[in-house]
Amino acid sequence: MRVIVHGVGAIGGTVAAGLHRAGVEVVGIARGGMLAAMRERGLRLRAPGLDVTVPVPVVAHPSEIAWRADDAVLLCMKGQDTAAALEDLRAAGLADQPIFCAQNGVANERAALRIFPNVHGVTVMMPAVYLVPGEVAVFTEPKLGIFDIGRFPGGVDDDDRRMAAALEAGGVAAVLREDVMASKRGKLLLNLNNVLKAALGPDADTGDLGRAARAEAEAVYRAAGLSWDDPNRRDPARDALIRPVDDLPGVPRAGGSTVQSLLRGADRVETDYLNGEIALLGRLHGVPVPVNAALARIGARLAREGRKPGSTTLAALTEAVAAGG
C-alpha cells in the first residue's frame, strides 16, 4: 500500500512523517508554505523524545501523481476544502482506490461516497499542532495518536486492515470499528467546543454555552436515530496509548484545530462542518438548535474578520449567541 496524504497540516504531517520513518511508501499533497518548506528542507516532526526531519515526497496537486492500484488516499484537509479536493482527485484519475476521511465532522464520508465507491471513516484523536511551515508536533506518548477506522457507512474490510497496519507501523494506534461513524459522532460532540475555544482562548471556560451546544447535538442524534460513542467514557487501554504531555521544548501548545487556523490567519474555518452539521441535522429533524446555529455564524465571522483566538469574553459571546450570532 502506498499512502497519499492529501492535506499536510498538523494531522496529515504527523501521519506522513510517521509513515515515512517506518518505511511505508507515502506521498504528501500540500500547498503554500508547507509545500515550499517540505520541498526545501523536509518535514520536521517533534513528539516526546523525538525530533526528526524526514524527506517526505510532496506534490502540489493530485494530477502530479502517477496513480497506482495499491494507492490509498488519506484525506486530512478541513471539511470546507473537501469538495474541491474530491473533484481534483476525480480529475486526476482516482477511481476505485480507498479514500479514508481522517477529518473532523461527519459530512466528508457522504461527500466522498457521492463520487467514489470505496470510502472509509477515520476518527482522529491526535493533539497535534502546525504553526510553522514544514514543522508539526504532537503532545502524546507513547503513540502519536489513536485512529478508529472502518468502512463507510459500516463494516470493516481488507483496506481498513491494510491502513491500520500501516498506521501502527508509523506510530499511530489503529482500532478497527464496524460502526466507525458512531465514533465520529462522539468526537463531533467534543469538536463543538472548537469555535468556543477559538473565540475565548484555548484555556478558557466555555461555561453554559459548551453544555448547551452538546445538549442540542445529543437531542438531534436521538431525533435522527443516530448512535454515538460517549467521548468522555474512560478507557484505560486507550488512555495508556496516548498519554498527554504538558509541553515540548520550543513548541507552543496552541490549542485545537480552529484555534490554529485563526493563528495562521485562515480566512475560513471548519465550524460549518461541526456546529453547522448539528444545525443542519436539527433543521432536518425538527429539533431547535439555536446555539449551534449561532456558533456556526460566529465561527465564519471570526475567520472573515481576521480575529485571533481569545478576542472576546464569555459574556460577550453569550450575548452574541442569544442574538443569533
- Band of the pLDDT at 257, cuts 50, 70, 90? confident
Contact assessment for residue 182 and residue 206, using Cβ atoms and an 8 Å cutoff: no
Q: Which residues of 67-105 are buried (b: 16+ CB within 10 A; e: fewer)?
A: beeebbbbbbbbbbbbeebbeebeeeebeebbbbbbbbb
**Residue-level pLDDT at 249:** 87
Cα–Cα distance measured from residue 255 to residue 129, given in angstroms and rounded to the nearest whole number: 8
**Residue-level pLDDT at 85:** 98
Give the closest residue to 41 by CA, choosing from 52, 29, 49: 52
Cα–Cα distance measured from residue 325 to residue 318, given in angstroms and rounded to the nearest whole number: 9
- Which is it for strands 99-101 and 71-75: parallel, antiparallel or unpaired? parallel
Does the pLDDT at position 325 exceed 90? no
**Residue-level pLDDT at 129:** 92
Percent of the chain at pLDDT exceeding 70: 100
pLDDT, tens digit (0-9, with 9 covering 90-100), for 186-240: 999 999 999 999 999 998 999 899 999 999 999 999 999 999 999 888 889 999 9
Domains assigned to the chain: 2-178 (3.40.50.720), 184-322 (1.10.1040.10)
Does the pLDDT at position 24 exceed 90? yes
Which of 4-8, 29-33, 59-63, 262-266 shows the lowest mean pLDDT across its residues? 262-266
Rg of the Cα atoms in the chain? 19
Give the closest residue to 257 by CA, choosing from 12, 4, 5: 12
Mean pLDDT for all residues in the chain:
95
pLDDT, tens digit (0-9, with 9 covering 90-100), for 96-121: 999 999 999 999 999 999 999 999 99
